[in-house]
A and B are shown apart, each in its own frame.
Chain A
Amino acid sequence: MTGHVFHPGHQELHGVTIVLETLGSRTYVGRFHSQDERGVELHDVGVHDALAGGTSKEEFLRQCNRFGIRPEHRDLLVPSNDVASIRRLVDAIG
């Protein structure tokens, strides 16, 4: 729904569950709140760290899609200089 603002008066992705890939090993899945020069603010955020071992990022995203996001952070600000990409979770799953 390109150009559709889910919550009028907010940024286009406000309230939408997104996948934020960082320039490092971490991938975050959470509800987008806002983005400004400081970074991206998310709510109810699940985390995958490729350096921690365990499941792959792809499997982590599939589990988030199927069973929901297990939040590790109620609120999180990801600094602008660490943001590699932002996609909707439903698009990341394909």
Chain B
Amino acid sequence: MPYPPALVAPMREEMTRMGARELTSSAEVDATLGDQKGTMLVFVNSVCGCAAGNARPALHFALQHGVRPQQVVTVFAGQDVEATARARQYFAEYQPSSPSIALLRDGEVVHFVHRHQIEGRAPQDVAADLKAAFDRHFAVAV
């Protein structure tokens, strides 16, 4: 059962302040992830403590990096149920967990961060892993 909108509003705002675009319907997910070109980060948001204490702060730190995805989008597990289920179809080989983070390049998942790789870890450590993944998958060869 979704939480009251007022309760989760700050969790949504934390994402949009970072420049993430919210996808709240299947149609928005398909329009964004279908035939996706370039580089993209999909953040599966959550009301749980490791989203607030670990995952969202980690993303904030990671997005300060010189190499970053061209687009950052987010779906909210447990809140925007239809959009989240639809987004997960685009990375269906990965078991669902939230929070989680998918990095895509031209529609293909090139890196996935599960909840178990976030929980109990310092945001800076999770961010360091994300930055390394940005460098590995999103850096432009010159």
Contact = CB atoms under 8 A, between A and B. Distances in A.
B120 A16 contact: yes
Q: Which range holds the interface residue count of chain A?
A: 10 to 19
Interface in B78-113: 93-97, 112
Q: Is the interface of B mostly helix, strand, loop or mixed?
A: loop
Nearest to B97: A68
Given A67-B93, A67-B94, A68-B95, A15 B119 contact: yes
A88 B120 contact: yes
A15 B50 contact: yes
Interface stretch (A1-9, A20-28, A33-41, A77-85): A1-9
Contacts of A90: 116-117, 121
Interface of A: 1, 4, 6-7, 15-17, 65-71, 88-90
B49 interface: yes
Contacts of A4: 120
A7 B51 CA distance: 12
A32 B114 CA distance: 16
12 contacts: A1-B120, A1-B121, A6-B120, A16-B116, A17-B119, A65-B117, A66-B112, A68-B94, A68-B97, A68-B114, A69-B95, A69-B116
A15 B98 CA distance: 12
Given A1-B122, A67-B94, A68-B97, A7 B116 contact: no
Contacts of B122: 1
Interface in B33-53: 48-50
Nearest to B125: A1
A16 B60 CA distance: 23
Contacts of B115: 17
Contacts of B112: 66-67
> Which of B50, B117, B122: most chain A CB closer than 10 A?
B117
A7 B117 contact: no
Nearest to A4: B120
A27 to B, nearest CB: 15
Nearest to A15: B119
B55 to A, nearest CB: 13
Given A6-B120, A65-B114, A66-B112, 4 more contacts: A65-B117, A67-B112, A68-B96, A69-B95
